[in-house]
């Protein structure tokens, strides 16, 4: 037994270290045993004896030594790790995991702990369940050359599972040799297991700090995991070690591009290509950078260079397709994507890009097939779900679209574009609050998302929240001034705010950015019409139709504008309506039998369809039908096509039998709903005005279909059976010009002023200050001939003045234009008072400021004339040859006030001058008019409704008789 002293103990330890380092393991073991004879619990000697036993593939023999070392010094983290590792090699896998878990509970942590934990999890499966290949027995500190060669061969042949198993064995037996770790990391990476690859590559880099490839590989894995800053550090370290390392320069460029640092990325990639001009991946990555910089032709050239080097790079074919699509080269893009898919049929990105291209070409069914195939290959692909949702929305399959987009955001909650697309679909379904929430979520994720701001602005516009709409659209344009959609939406928002000149500029900017933007041309027409420029409006609507012949709303807008053109005639206007029917509606007629009961006397179900069940001028004409109907003989179902609601909406909702919101529902869905509701008579309350659902009527969902009241000028539709009018509105001789059967009511317009209680003041002219004329109609109705006639009237009555009140006059430019019309005719500007939009009670009270209302022409007043009469203000009107110019004449005739109707423009001027001279008669009439109106068939709302219901019954009886 050796003599015990500290000097001998240290000497034997040194001898043991030297022997072990030189591979003389048995000699090293003997020296450690000598130490233990002197000090049996010596922690280092026990530890090294245990480790030697493990290295000699005798893990069971090494366990007692390692346990004694751990018991002697439990603060040494390496003792815990080696003991756990030895238990694992001894086949005691659960015990190994328990020891490592206990070590972690006591605070042990770090890279080696994580690596060992990974090996325990992965190695348990491979070593116990599938032993796989064995290593050559060796007593050194590095694997045998034949094992290195075998592992290299497995990896090179793509036998990743076997390579991983052998690499794990190698790292277990030679944990401080880098080769096994390096191959293990690469094999995991190629198998798509980046989380497993990372610890192995970190270990490789730690064991080989001067190995540029090890740091480069680690950078690639960091990049794949989205840990871009760490990727930069590793790749730059690789380049520091090996400045001519082209692959590291290439990967650094790709990482910088992902970090939105394209200029630096381009520099790195060009350096890679200096080092290796035939480096296809570098050409591809440079193409991606140039594409992001908007240098599309240069990007395309880079992709072609990559493909010249290697024509079989499917990703490059797909990237080339992306650049071609961005340049509008859709045929070429499609070919590139299809080539990518020939090379790799399971390439989901190419399938999705091909789907987008086919969608851009209008091949929606083929586009849908691409996305569905992508989801077969990769069922959890959020982008494919998002794209499929967009194309399904374009196909009008909103429920399916929403389901796909919800799936997309569930799979990838942080995808801003998916939230934006879902919002767009929900908007189309009329679910505006949810749509706005989606846009706001997209903006939380991506605050600079201009399209989401634009879409949010449009949703707020439709909701009637105009200030919020304008703010959102301003944000969109601050981010991207080139966004045509945002300019287009801003145009309508500004128009709704009464800022017509600014609205016009916004629409024009949208068209400048996107000349084939049909919606922008149509919106420009709407703005021009609001400014009274009918020829410009018609030109814009015609341009929209040239760009999109199926744009039925633009076609309706054109009809609306032509109705106000002075040179139009009834025959031409009805012919234009018939053209609309042929272009958009006639082919939709569903020749399905109506299964309604043929009992002619039963309780009937009447459906009313409108976007104006609110405080809208049209509602004052038809409102009584919804609240004063005979509920013993009729049920009333209201189909509301608007997101805007107010107090009058509540009145209608409470008055009808059933209220249905159809805003956002497709025409087919609404038509089916009408059939399910067993509607007997379906009534259109919009005609060709905004928000109409004429394409629902085109499908003939009800046995009898009528157009009436809200812009009742005839639809021209073969599916519309009846047009309610009166003999003044449509003289008997003109009935044959209409497609619909014209049925007469006492008056084409009804009244619904139950809740208006404005006080009527004395006639202003009694003050001796002269006559005050007024016109409160929409400005678009005021033709040049109208302004000329008004100027002649004012010129003939020097003490007179005029008030013009309408929403469009909130716009300063429009005010100047109107004043200029009078000044050019010699009327001083101070004789003209211009007023803008006010609340309903203030609007009615404004009639107290005028003595006589002057009707515009060729499109006269309707509800506005009725409001004036209710407030004691008579109206001078010119009966025009077209239907739109007979509204006031119809009302005045029903009230017995035909002496206020002129037949020529000269007579109109003379009549206004004559009536202005009869101040006492005007004062008497002011008091009498409300009574005259109330006692008339149109003022007596209940009586008017009974007349309408009588027509309903007759029409139903006729239908029953014709369908035995």
pLDDT value, residue 128? 35
Higher-confidence position of 527 and 567: 527
Q: Report whether pLDDT(394) > 90.
A: no
Residue 858: is the preceding peptide bond cis (ω within 30°)? yes
Tokens read off for 116? 């060992």
* Mean pLDDT along residues 628-633: 96
pTM check: above 0.85: no
Same domain, 672 and 787: no
What is the per-residue DSSP string for 50-93?
Answer: HHHHHHTT-HHHHHHHHHHHHHH-TT-HHHHHHHHHHHHHTT-H
* Mean pLDDT along residues 317-339: 94
User: The dihedral of CA 771, 776, 777, 783: what is its sign?
Assistant: positive
Same domain, 722 and 776: no
Instruction: Label residue 849 by pLDDT band (50, 70, 90).
Output: very high
pLDDT value, residue 122? 55
pLDDT value, residue 2? 39
930 inside domain = yes
Are 238 and 213 in contact, with CB atoms under 8 Å apart? yes
Buried b (16+ CB within 10 A) or exposed e, 436-461: bbbbebbbebbeebbbbbbbbbbbbb
Neighbouring C-alpha atoms within 13 Å toward the C-beta of 496: 19
Identify the weakest region by mean pLDDT among 74-78, 580-584, 670-674: 74-78
Rounded distance, CA 13 to CA 845, Å?
A: 109
Tokens read off for 257? 């591009």
Identify the weakest region by mean pLDDT among 88-97, 195-204, 377-386: 88-97
Same domain, 910 and 778: yes
Rounded distance, CA 169 to CA 151, Å?
A: 11
Q: Report whether pLDDT(4) > 50.
A: no
Rounded distance, CA 894 to CA 898, Å?
A: 9
Q: Report whether pLDDT(304) > 80.
A: yes
Tokens read off for 597? 């009961």
Identify the weakest region by mean pLDDT among 432-441, 496-505, 756-765, 873-882: 756-765
pLDDT value, residue 417? 92
pLDDT value, residue 126? 40
pLDDT value, residue 550? 93
pLDDT value, residue 517? 96
CA separation (Å) from 764 to 115, 725, 850, 871, 932? 95, 35, 7, 13, 21
Q: Report whether pLDDT(42) > 60.
A: yes
Identify the weakest region by mean pLDDT among 11-25, 69-83, 527-541: 11-25
Strand partners, 852: 773
679 inside domain = yes
pLDDT value, residue 125? 39
pLDDT value, residue 897? 96
Helices and strands (H, E) in the chain, number of each type: 46, 13
Instruction: Label residue 575 by pLDDT band (50, 70, 90).
Output: very high
Q: Report whether pLDDT(547) > 80.
A: yes
Q: Report whether pLDDT(504) > 90.
A: yes
Higher-confidence position of 955 and 158: 955
Tokens read off for 480? 């991207």
* CATH code, domain with 657: 3.40.50.11380
pLDDT value, residue 487? 97
End-to-end CA distance of the chain: give it in Å, rounded: 125
21 inside domain = yes
CA separation (Å) from 349 to 328, 373, 771? 19, 11, 75
Same domain, 852 and 904: yes
* CATH code, domain with 779: 3.40.50.2000
What share of the chain in percent tops pLDDT 90? Answer: 67
* Mean pLDDT along residues 185-192: 90
Instruction: Label residue 130 by pLDDT band (50, 70, 90).
Output: very low
pLDDT value, residue 176? 87
Number of domains present in the structure of the chain: 3
Q: Report whether pLDDT(101) > 60.
A: yes
Q: Report whether pLDDT(263) > 80.
A: yes
Are 511 and 546 in contact, with CB atoms under 8 Å apart? no
Are 60 and 92 in contact, with CB atoms under 8 Å apart? no
Same domain, 809 and 918: yes
Domain boundary among 83, 109, 135: 109
172 inside domain = no
Rounded distance, CA 519 to CA 485, Å?
A: 9
* CATH code, domain with 62: 1.25.40.10
pLDDT value, residue 129? 34
CA separation (Å) from 394 to 312, 399, 457? 35, 12, 21
Domain boundary among 728, 744, 760: 744
718 inside domain = yes
Q: Report whether pLDDT(887) > 60.
A: yes
Instruction: Label residue 735 by pLDDT band (50, 70, 90).
Output: very high
Same domain, 738 and 604: yes
Identify the weakest region by mean pLDDT among 79-83, 699-703, 846-850: 79-83
pLDDT value, residue 264? 94
pLDDT value, residue 139? 54
At residue 814's C-alpha, the angle toward residues 808 and 817, to 5°, is 140
Q: Which domain holds residue 690?
A: 584-744
Rounded distance, CA 545 to CA 566, Å?
A: 23
Rounded distance, CA 123 to CA 86, Å?
A: 13
Rounded distance, CA 265 to CA 235, Å?
A: 13
453 inside domain = no
Same domain, 737 and 802: no
Q: How many CB atoms lie within 10 A of CB 905?
A: 16
Domain boundary among 109, 143, 166: 109
Q: Which of 536, 470, 612, 531 has the alpha carbon at shortest distance from 522?
A: 536
Q: Report whether pLDDT(612) > 60.
A: yes
- Grouping H, G, I as helix, E, B as strand and the rest as coil, residue 869 is helix
| Burial class of residue 337 in the structure, from the number of CB atoms within 10 Å of its CB (0-12 exposed, 13-18 middle, 19+ buried) | buried
Q: Report whether pLDDT(890) > 70.
A: yes
Q: Report whether pLDDT(213) > 80.
A: yes
Same domain, 812 and 896: yes
Residues 6+ apart with CB under 8 A from 652: 613, 619, 623, 626, 627, 638, 659
At residue 519's C-alpha, the angle toward residues 517 and 522, to 5°, is 115
Same domain, 726 and 782: no
pLDDT value, residue 47? 85
Tokens read off for 264? 């630096």
Residues 6+ apart with CB under 8 A from 874: 852, 853, 868, 897, 900, 915, 922, 925, 929
pLDDT value, residue 89? 75
* Mean pLDDT along residues 484-504: 94
pLDDT value, residue 135? 60
The distance from CA 760 to its chain's CA centroid, rounded to whole angstroms, is 50
pLDDT value, residue 518? 96
Rounded distance, CA 19 to CA 49, Å?
A: 13
Identify the weakest region by mean pLDDT among 86-95, 482-491, 901-910: 86-95
Structure letter (DSSP) for residue 136 = P
Rounded distance, CA 684 to CA 711, Å?
A: 10
Over the stretch 373-392, which tens digit does the pLDDT of each residue have? Answer: 999 999 999 999 999 999 99
Strand order in the sheet with 772-775: 832-835, 801-805, 772-775, 852-854, 875-878, 901-902
* Mean pLDDT along residues 868-890: 92
Tokens read off for 192? 């798509």
pLDDT value, residue 325? 92
Instruction: Label residue 482 by pLDDT band (50, 70, 90).
Output: very high
**Cα dihedral 803, 804, 805, 806 in deg (nearest 10):** 180
* Mean pLDDT along residues 392-409: 90
Rounded distance, CA 729 to CA 882, Å?
A: 9
Q: Report whether pLDDT(444) > 70.
A: yes
Higher-confidence position of 283 and 33: 283
* Mean pLDDT along residues 598-618: 94
HEC sequence for 811-837: CHHHHHHHHHHHHCCCCCHHHEEEECC
Same domain, 730 and 775: no
Are 469 and 432 in contact, with CB atoms under 8 Å apart? no
Are 854 and 775 in contact, with CB atoms under 8 Å apart? yes
Q: Report whether pLDDT(905) > 80.
A: yes
Angle in degrees, 0-180, between the axes of helices 812-823 and 784-796, rounded to the nearest 10: 50
Tokens read off for 298? 């240069």
Higher-confidence position of 65 and 583: 583
At residue 525's C-alpha, the angle toward residues 519 and 526, to 5°, is 90
Rounded distance, CA 544 to CA 520, Å?
A: 8
Number of residues assigned to the chain: 964
Same domain, 924 and 793: yes
50 inside domain = yes
167 inside domain = no
* Mean pLDDT along residues 866-894: 93
φ, ψ of residue 596 in degrees (nearest 5): -65, 145
pLDDT value, residue 20? 65
Instruction: Label residue 3 by pLDDT band (50, 70, 90).
Output: very low
Same domain, 808 and 660: no
Rounded distance, CA 582 to CA 585, Å?
A: 6
pLDDT value, residue 520? 97
Tokens 């394409």 found at: 695
* pLDDT, averaged across the chain: 90
* Mean pLDDT along residues 431-459: 96
């Amino acid at each position: 037994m050796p003599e015990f002293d500290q000097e001998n103990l240290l000497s034997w330890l040194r001898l043991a270290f030297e022997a072990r380092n030189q591979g003389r393991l048995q000699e090293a073991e003997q020296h450690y045993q000598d130490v233990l004879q002197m000090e049996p619990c010596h922690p280092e000697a026990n530890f090294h004896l245990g480790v030697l036993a493990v290295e000699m593939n005798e893990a069971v023999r090494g366990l007692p030594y390692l346990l004694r070392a751990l018991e002697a010094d439990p603060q040494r983290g390496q003792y815990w790790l080696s003991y756990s590792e030895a238990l694992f090699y001894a086949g005691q896998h659960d015990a190994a995991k328990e020891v490592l878990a206990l070590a972690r509970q006591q605070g042990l942590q770090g890279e080696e702990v994580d690596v060992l934990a990974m090996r325990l999890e992965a190695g348990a499966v491979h070593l116990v369940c599938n032993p796989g290949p064995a290593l050559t027995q060796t007593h050194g500190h590095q694997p045998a050359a034949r094992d290195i060669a075998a592992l290299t061969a497995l990896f090179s042949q793509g036998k990743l599972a076997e390579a991983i198993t052998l690499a794990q064995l190698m790292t277990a037996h030679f944990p401080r040799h880098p080769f096994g770790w390096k191959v293990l990391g690469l094999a995991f990476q190629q198998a798509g297991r980046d989380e497993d690859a990372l610890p192995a590559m970190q270990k490789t880099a730690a064991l080989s700090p001067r190995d540029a490839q090890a740091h480069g590989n680690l950078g690639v894995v960091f990049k794949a995991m989205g840990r871009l800053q760490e990727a930069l550090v590793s790749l730059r370290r690789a380049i520091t070690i090996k400045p001519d390392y082209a692959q590291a320069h290439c990967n650094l460029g790709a990482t910088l591009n992902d970090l939105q640092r394209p200029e630096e990325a381009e520099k790195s990639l060009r350096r890679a290509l200096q080092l290796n001009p035939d480096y296809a991946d570098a050409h591809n990555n440079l193409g991606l950078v140039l594409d992001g910089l908007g240098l599309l032709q240069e990007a395309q050239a880079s992709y072609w260079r990559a493909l010249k080097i290697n024509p079989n790079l499917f990703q490059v074919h797909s990237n080339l397709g992306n650049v071609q699509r961005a340049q509008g080269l859709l045929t070429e893009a499609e070919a590139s994507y299809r080539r990518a898919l020939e090379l790799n049929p399971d390439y989901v990105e190419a399938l999705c890009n091909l789907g987008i291209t086919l969608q851009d070409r209008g091949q929606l069914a083929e586009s849908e097939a691409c996305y569905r195939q992508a989801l077969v290959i990769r069922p959890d692909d959020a982008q494919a779900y998002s794209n499929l949702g967009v194309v399904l929305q374009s196909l009008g399959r909103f429920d399916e679209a929403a389901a796909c987009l919800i799936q997309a955001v569930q799979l990838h909650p942080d995808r801003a574009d998916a939230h934006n697309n879902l919002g767009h679909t929900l908007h189309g379904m009329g679910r505006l609050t949810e749509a706005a929430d989606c846009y706001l979520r997209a903006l939380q994720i991506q605050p600079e998302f201009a399209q989401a701001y634009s879409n949010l602005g449009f949703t707020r516009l439709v909701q009637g929240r105009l200030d919020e709409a304008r703010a959102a659209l301003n944000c969109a344009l601050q981010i991207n001034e080139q966004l045509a959609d945002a300019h287009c939406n801003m145009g309508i928002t500004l128009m709704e705010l009464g800022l017509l000149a600014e609205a016009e500029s916004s629409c024009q900017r949208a068209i400048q950015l996107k000349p084939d933007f049909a919606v922008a041309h149509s919106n420009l027409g709407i703005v021009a019409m609001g400014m009274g420029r009918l020829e410009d409006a018609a030109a814009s609507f015609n341009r929209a139709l040239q760009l999109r012949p199926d744009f039925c709303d633009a076609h309706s807008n054109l009809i609306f504008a032509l109705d106000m053109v002075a040179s139009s005639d009834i025959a031409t206007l009805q012919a234009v309506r018939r053209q609309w029917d042929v272009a958009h509606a006639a082919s939709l007629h569903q020749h399905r039998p109506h299964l309604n009961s043929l009992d002619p006397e039963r309780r009937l179900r009447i459906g009313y369809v409108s976007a104006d069940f609110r405080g809208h001028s049209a509602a004052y004409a038809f409102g009584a039908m919804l609240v004063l109907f005979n509920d013993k003989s009729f049920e009333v179902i209201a189909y509301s096509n608007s997101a805007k609601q107010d107090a009058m909406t509540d009145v209608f909702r409470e008055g009808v039998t059933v209220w249905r919101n159809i805003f956002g529902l497709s025409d087919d869905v609404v038509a089916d709903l009408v059939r399910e509701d067993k509607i007997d008579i379906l009534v259109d309350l919009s005609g060709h005005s905004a928000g109409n659902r004429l394409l629902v009527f085109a499908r003939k969902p009800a046995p009898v279909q009528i157009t009436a009241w809200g812009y009742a000028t005839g639809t021209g539709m073969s599916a519309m059976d009846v047009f309610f009018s009166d003999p003044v509105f449509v003289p008997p001789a003109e009935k044959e010009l209409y497609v619909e059967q014209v049925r007469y009511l006492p008056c084409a317009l009804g009244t619904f002023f139950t809740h208006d209680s404005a006080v009527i003041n004395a006639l202003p002219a009694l003050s001796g200050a002269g006559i005050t004329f007024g016109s409160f109609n929409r400005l678009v109705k005021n033709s040049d001939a109208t302004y000329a006639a008004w100027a002649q009237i004012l010129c003939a009555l020097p003490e007179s003045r005029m008030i013009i009140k309408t929403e469009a006059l909130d716009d300063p430019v429009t005010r100047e234009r109107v004043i200029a019309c009078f000044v050019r005719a010699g009327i001083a500007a101070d004789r003209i008072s211009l007023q803008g939009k006010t609340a309903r009670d203030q609007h009615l009270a404004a009639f107290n400021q005028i003595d006589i209302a002057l009707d515009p022409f060729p499109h006269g007043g309707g509800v506005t004339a009725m409001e004036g009469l209710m407030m004691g203000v008579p109206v001078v009107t010119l009966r025009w040859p077209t239907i739109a110019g007979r509204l006031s004449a119809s009302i005045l005739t029903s009230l017995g006030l035909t002496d206020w109707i002129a037949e020529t423009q000269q007579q109109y001027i003379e009549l206004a001058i004559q009536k202005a001279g009869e101040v006492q008669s005007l004062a008497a009439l002011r008091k009498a008019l409300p009574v005259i109106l109330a006692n008339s068939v149109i003022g007596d709302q209940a009586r008017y409704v009974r007349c309408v219901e009588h027509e309903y019954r007759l029409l139903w009886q006729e239908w029953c008789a014709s369908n035995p």
